[in-house]
A and B are shown apart, each in its own frame.
Chain A
Amino acid sequence: MTELSERRRERRARQVAPRQLAAQISYTQPRHELLDTNGIRRLHDAAMRVLREFGVDFYDEECRAIFADHGALVKGETVFLDEELVMRAVARAPRQFTQLARNPAHHVVIGADKVTFAPVYGPPFVQDLDGVRRDATLADFQNFVKLAYLSPWMHHSGGTVVEPMDEPVATRHLDMVLSHILYSDKAFMGSVTSGPNAADSVTMAEIVFGAAAIREHPALISLINVSSPRRYDDRMLAALKVYARARQGLLITPFILTGAMGPASIAGSLAQLIAEALAGIALVQLIEPGCPVIFGSFLSTMDLQSGALTMGTPEAQLGLYCAAQMARHYGLPFRSGGAFSSAKLPDAQAGYESALSMLPTLQAGTHFVLHAAGWLDNGLAAGYAKFMLDCELLGMLHTWVKGVDLSDEALAFDAMAEVPPGGHYLGTGHTMRHFRDAFYRAELFDYTSSEQWELNGAQDSYARASAKARQLLASYEPPPLDPAIAANLHAFVAERKAAIAREPRDF
């Protein structure tokens, strides 16, 4: 009896134990490619022509001077680049790199055959656990960091998971970076809202990892958006320079709403996007050869009837496949995709749009997937329940990406030998070896009979996801952090806040 109850205890424990972070998934399936060699050449040539004939604006004198020093033609704020210069610089970028996490088990490989999932970025609003849309706060920020930390399917803590509107603009970046470090041990992103904010992010990373360590492997990846069409703004460039000089990772992403910020065609928008991304990547490599960079693509469509933004549309996915292929062609790690949706709550639209965005993201071989969970309302809101449901999808995709195992064990002849025609496999030795993890088991999707579902309270997935988020947040415990590092961080943040308070500023 004692033995039995002990076993029972063991099994129950297994049931409730939090799942460990799943290993970063590796692509084993062939990539879905839409371009043949001629297609690649056409897009490349078009991009080179954009750079040569139209150029890209850089709202930063020093950046323009760097280009000019390397032989680019600069007229006013516009930099015209020839193929030789761009491709020579781009060739210096590493094909893959490792980003450090506080917990070494959570370091992430960016590039190669690996996928990294990171949470939603930027929303000023949340769709909270009561379904209310309201301003995001620092508490929400920390909650999303916690949920990402607790999800076995989320490899990264992200950046501005929500915009903490209750904190002063001038010091928000300090609270955000600090929260990533205190509440998670996964890798995170730096602030890009100004050069000094970027420098603060670097200092905090140095406090945690050591200055030498982060020059060897970046501790930060930061999001530099191109202000399409063909324009890099002063803030982004100020941040880019700081991070490049510190050899921190840069995620260079043109964001094109096709039809408004790029031509109303996928090919034309791609040509522009490639040109814009390569121009920024070249700049990074001219500043700091070998600095880790990611070729980003955010291509979405605009409803040209109403002028509204549309997400998860089929054209965006076609563009994604091609952009991924071009990044591969240039030997660069690739960022795109996300659980995109225009829906305001995690309803059917949200589910369809997000699934329709995520599957192509993986089919294309994307390496870094920002916005992999939580995105609602065209990026204006982060949804708690949506975050949980998206994580469920990420879990499924972990299995999906692995493809099919064709080993002898998987071919399972022994099981077939055991089962006569018309028999069943539920008790074979093979099944006994694999039943626990043979198939992905969704926690938030319902597989019960309709009667049982009624008896369980007739909840939809939205309600189940909200309950799960509540439960996780209630049970959350922070990962350990060296008290000396924590003290240094707090001291730095306090010192910077005091200094910033003394600086003259508009608001």
Chain B
Amino acid sequence: MSLKELSDDDLWLQMQDDLYDGQKDEVVEETKEALARGHTPQQVLSEGLVAGMDIVGADFRDGILFVPEVLMSANAMKAGMEILRPLLVETGAPRIGKMVIGTVKGDIHDIGKNLVAMMMEGAGFEVINLGVNNDAQKFIDAIREHQPEIIGMSALLTTTMPYMKVVIQALKDEGLRDDVYVMVGGAPVTESFGQAVGADAYARDAAVAVEMAKAYMARRRGEGVAA
């Protein structure tokens, strides 16, 4: 049966299944098909992509899906989002959110940061991954260039963790601090350390990071903060 023959409901289900299976090309086709049928970008997002990734998220949490599978799903999600994102902007739909993430200067531990980036993309966020070893200027440049709502800093060394504070101070100096939600993480980072350096949030793992980012975006929209 070709895509065109599916009922709308079956199309949504098909999208969700293909997201679950990490079928990027299929998800792209289905996204286009749904749009071609006249569904709003917002509808395609919520009925297809987000609904699909919610299932992925639940099954990852419950130990059914493995990281490599989630990575494939997140890539499929990202591909679908690339089509939807400009349309969502045009229609004035609330933004899911954009995140700039990187490990701080001196730190090259990046597996955890990459997992966070992957899960954020899986949740529909646009993620600018700065890679490892970023000084304050790189974060600042990225904020100016990409206008994210959220920045994420990762550090796994107690010798590099204090640099998070340097970045936050630099954001203040540049007058950017109030525009972004600063999230921090990495195995030796703790809730109290996050508070001490003046971050907005600390998350112990990627799933929690996504939940916090989503909650923040909801608050930000609700509170009518300029996006």
Contact = CB atoms under 8 A, between A and B. Distances in A.
Interface of A: 124-125, 163, 165, 169, 172, 193, 227, 231, 233, 235, 257, 260-261, 302, 304-307, 378, 380, 506-507
List 3 tightest A-B contacts by C-beta distance, closest first: A507-B162, A124-B188, A124-B158
A307 B158 contact: no
Given A165-B158, A169-B162, A380-B188, 15 more contacts: A124-B188, A125-B188, A163-B158, A231-B108, A233-B108, A304-B66, A304-B67, A304-B68, A306-B63, A306-B67, A307-B111, A307-B206, A506-B163, A507-B163, A507-B165
Main secondary structure of the interface of A (DSSP, over half): loop
A175 B111 CA distance: 31
A125 to B, nearest CB: 7
A506 B164 CA distance: 10
Interface string B147-167: 000000000001100110110
B198 interface: no
Contacts of B162: 169, 507
A377 to B, nearest CB: 9
A227 B108 contact: yes
Nearest to A505: B166
Interface of B: 63, 65-68, 105-106, 108, 111, 115, 133, 158-159, 162-163, 165-166, 187-188, 206
Nearest to A225: B108
Contacts of A227: 108
Most chain-B Cβ atoms within 10 A of its Cβ — which of A125, A163, A227, A305?
A: A305
20 contacts: A124-B158, A124-B188, A163-B159, A169-B159, A172-B159, A193-B159, A233-B108, A233-B133, A257-B111, A260-B111, A261-B111, A304-B66, A304-B67, A305-B63, A305-B65, A307-B111, A307-B115, A378-B187, A507-B162, A507-B163
A479 B218 CA distance: 62
Contacts of B68: 304
Nearest to A380: B187
Contact of A507 (B63, B108, B111, B166): B166
A169 B158 contact: yes
Contacts of A172: 159
Contacts of A125: 188
Nearest to A236: B108
A481 to B, nearest CB: 28
A307 B117 CA distance: 13
B105 A305 contact: no
